[in-house]
Amino acid sequence: MEFYSGIGGMHVSLDRAARHTGGSFEVLCAFDINPNANVVYQLNFGLTVNHKSIENFDCDYLDSFGADTWLLSPPCQPYTLQKGAKQKDTEDPRAKSFLHLLKLFPTLKKPPTRILLENVRGFEMSETRKQLLSTMTPSYNYQEFLLSPTQFGLPNSRMRYFFLAKKKPEDFLDPSRNGSVLCFIPCCKYFDSEGRPLEGIKKIECYLEGDDPNLHSYLVPQRLLQKTSRVMDITKKSDSHSCCFTKAYGQYVEGTGSLLQQNLDIDLDSEDSKGTDIIEKLELRFFTPREIANLHGFPADFTFGSLTKKQQYQLLGNSLNCVVVGNLLQYLLQNQDSKI
């Protein structure tokens, strides 16, 4: 089952894992209360998302699905380390639904045999995480991770926390790592035996849409350039880095994600290019939703239907990286057929 399914990042990740392992899976149900996300999910996977509030679930309802794997991506706002965040943790109303699941968990008659949870960096320091571990430790072997797409060769920084668990006596390929917070995936082709990344980071140009005549509509408005020119992160197509894209991307430029410099005749690092007047000559534009989806590992045929650019940015900002999660699922499932 997919809890907080969003636009289907977990589903795409499952597809990736199944292709690489030869296993198969069946998604029994997906849950989310965001109507735009649910439209996108149904468009791409043909499955109607259940918009019932998780806080209204009881044990009988969860047991009725008989799912052996739970995939969860609870709201991140209670735990985010972003500037201005209140970090209210368990006191944040948006944490209630996940805390409700934890409360129900010990009394389930058919608990899942495998669990994957994704959240922002900061969750690992939360009271919610303490409650998660307290709930799972008696019956599950677990491993925790802090991973970014850059470790998998993708030019995008998006550090996230992951929790993987297997119901005892089932265990991980490398059980010596149980109870640890890891910065690599054991037995994964992207890392050597010491946990060092093996993949070189690709260039931004590999993920761009090319010479689309509609790209002019993504130019950053002058009002935003004048207001926040000193706090923008600027990248070029030849670079191998970009900042994490948030749901406010396209509306603001400070701390929401990188901008793409199109005029490559100007070198921002040279002495002649100092000063705010040079910013307007850079021909800065926003990354398109399709380009962000590419960086997040969504397939080329993934569609947002008729949603506006703003809506697409919001959904992508709340999504996950399918390459990272796909590799975690390979590690979790180990060639097993699953009802999810």
DSSP 298: -
Helix (H, G, I), strand (E, B) or coil at 226: helix
Is the separation of the CB atoms in 246 and 255 below 8 Å? yes
Whole-angstrom Cα distance, residue 296 to residue 231? Answer: 24
Ranges assigned E (strand) in the chain = 2-3, 25-26, 30-31, 69-72, 114-120, 140-147, 160-167, 181-182, 234-235, 259-261, 284-286, 338-339
Whole-angstrom Cα distance, residue 337 to residue 223? Answer: 53
Whole-angstrom Cα distance, residue 33 to residue 17? Answer: 26
Whole-angstrom Cα distance, residue 50 to residue 53? Answer: 9
Provide CB contacts within 8 A for 146, sequence distance 6+: 121, 124, 159, 160, 161, 162, 181, 182, 183
Q: Annotated catalytic, 29?
A: no
Is the separation of the CB atoms in 298 and 45 below 8 Å? no
Whole-angstrom Cα distance, residue 313 to residue 289? Answer: 6
First to last CA, the chain: 4
Structure tokens at 326: 């796909």
Rg of the chain over Cα atoms, rounded to whole angstroms, equals 21
Active-site entry in 29, 76, 244, 322: 76
Whole-angstrom Cα distance, residue 289 to residue 141? Answer: 38
Active site residues: 76
